[in-house]
Amino acid sequence: MKTTSTKWMLCLALSASLVLASACGKNNNEVSPGTPATSEATSTPDDSAAESIDPFAKYDPPIEVTAVRDLPASILFREGENIDNNVWSREYEEKLGIKIKYLWTSNSDYSQRLNVSITSGDLPDIFPVDAVQLKQLVDAGQVEDLTEVFEKYVSPEARDLILKDPNQMKSATFDGKLMALPRVGSPYDSSQVLWIRADWLRNLNIPEPKTLEDVVAIAAAFTTQDPDQNSKDDTYGFALTKDLHKGGFANIQGFLNGFNAYVGAWIQGSDGKLTFGSVQPEIKNGLAKLQEMYKAGYIDEEFAVKDGSKVMEDLVSGKIGLSYGAWWNPAWPLQTVKDQDPTAEWKAYGIPALSGTTNKLQLSFPVAQYYVVKKGAKNTEAIIKLLNILVENGYSKNANIEKYFIAEDGFLYNNYPLVFVSPADGNVNIHLNMKPALENKDDSKLTGEEKGYYEKIMAYRAGDPKSWTNEGMYGLDSAWPFVKEKIDADLIQHDQFFGAPTPTMSQKNANLDKMLMETFTKIIMGEVSVDEFDKFVSNWNKLGGSDITNEVNEWAAAQ
């Protein structure tokens, strides 16, 4: 159960609280999904004027809303409960008068099953989709325009949260019409930091890293100088999975950022046009250094066949003491390491750049999922009410985290809501609010959510090692001081393309990505020269990358 509580923090980061506020500050575009409704709604529990509508008004009699959805394989329920009967399903019925009837759920092939339903037109009332499916549904006229019901029924708190980053709402807007609710989140939750075993640094009398060269030197020492002091040659200096730059644990994104290389992101080139970060010369420089480190034995020679779970096993067994990863890594896998070895002291550090240079913090666009309403469905406004109650219970002054998200015993409820969002600046603000509270031992100014984390941090400090997760994620030595430092210095590299894939992306991205993964892996392992990168770039452009770049810039020009 504690392992699963990790997943809640991951959700809160990638979708839920999970990336943060500067994405908004840099954008001058304002979202205006529509104007307030002036006509009466046709199927609502309240036909009063828009300005007097209660965003939480209960349907009487209750209504039934059909849905389908994906469920993570890790989801757990209390005894006697399931997706149809849990704290959130009861909340919907008791507070809103909405009964959710799931036609089907899936934890592995949701997208494929939904594609079949889209093709056949056999759709439920409310369901989550990805960007490709959203565009397909909009083009086919299969989903409702939510502009009017959003303006009419959204609560003030939900409005503030979902409009915090205009681009996130913009990604669900077509020809000025809001066609879906984006599962908004924090762009800052995708940022990488460097996690190092500080106890190993002390064992070897090594100072904390300031530059990328320092990181490489630490990786060397952790490989060759017996950092765990067990008199065995059984450690590696650098954690890496077969997924390379993907995922939020043991990847190369943060390392490459040290070279001012931004893999997987669309960035602005010297000519002002958008260009793909994965094919820039700086990537080659980073791969060359990784090849040197692999040859020297700092990277596990079997990394190319190990996923995150396998690399976690190496961390738990004390084989690795350095890893680039996300802010939520204390929840998974670092808490598991600490459970096995309470003396293991993991600490976050910023992403060091090459000596004499400055780098940026790479952020991903946080919206990967959208909630839509089937064309012709009754009670279209119900989706807005589901949003309102989520925000009220999770992020307002009345939030009750232990009842609705994560129980006192660590049991998770965060995957139960049909509609889920999280604040664009949530986790940075949580840390900023937590800092004075922890320093002064005074939680009186914290929100309900923040008090929950504060209590767990204090429990850790009082001797409960299993509560270190919250210390690592929100405490004084968490990732957020380094993220905030980059925000304040305006050193943020956003992925500047978002929304539905371009036509050529849809056709060719899978093959291009496969080519990238194979080439990068072979270069790191020394199976090919680093100059193979130049051939990869040429082939990437010939096999569709050039067309994709043109389409991305046409999209950017239209924004």
Tell me, what amino acid is at 469? T
259 neighbors 252 (Cβ within 8 angstroms): no
What domains sit in the chain, N to C, each tagged with a CATH number?
Answer: 2-188+368-404 (3.40.190.10), 192-326+501-557 (3.40.190.10)
CB atoms within 10 A of CB 356: 6
In degrees, rounded to 5, the angle at the alpha carbon of residue 246 between the alpha carbons of residues 241 and 251 is 45
Q: What is the pLDDT of residue 23?
A: 31
Give the C-alpha separation, 54 to 64, whole Å. 20
Q: What is the pLDDT of residue 462?
A: 95
Phi, psi of 412 (to 5 degrees): -100, 135
Q: What is the pLDDT of residue 9?
A: 42
DSSP bridge pairs for 178:
173
Residue 362, H or E segment = strand 361-363
Looking at residue 99, the DSSP 8-state letter turns out to be E
Residue 137: burial class (beta carbons within 10 Å; 0-12, 13-18, 19+): buried
Q: What is the pLDDT of residue 51?
A: 58
Measured over all CA atoms, what is the biggest interatomic distance in the chain, rounded to whole angstroms? 78
Tell me, what amino acid is at 428? V
157: nearest Cα among 55, 233, 44, 77? 55
33 neighbors 145 (Cβ within 8 angstroms): no
Residues of the chain with pLDDT under 50: 1-50
